[in-house]
Amino acid sequence: TPAGVLVWLDRRLKRRRRGRRPGETCRAFLDRAAAELPGCAQELGELARCLDQLYFGGGAPAFSPARASERLASRPPERPARH
């Protein structure tokens, strides 16, 4: 499901201390993730649109979690810069 992909992505990015922040909306988290993972920006935008439709649009969206997960899994998150 789209929500499952969101949870999976959050867990994956938390390993790099880039997970969803307290109070951060799904859309804001996915926009930030897309900026950090530009090769996945299209899939993350699709996921954000699907979640918006699911939560606010009253209908189940057309979404391929397998395709999105496969694409995101092929791009490991980069390590955060140390200052």
Query: Can you tell me the mean pLDDT for 70-78?
Result: 58
Q: Is the pLDDT reported for residue 59 higher than 60?
A: yes
Question: Average pLDDT, stretch 7-22?
Answer: 93
CA-nearest of 49, 22, 23, 45 to 33 is 45
Which residue blocks in the chain are alpha helix, DSSP H?
A: 2-14, 26-36, 41-56, 65-73
Structure tokens at 8: 């999976």
Q: What local confidence, expressed as pLDDT, does residue 64 receive?
A: 57
| pLDDT greater than 60 at residue 75 | no
Q: pTM for the whole thing?
A: 0.68
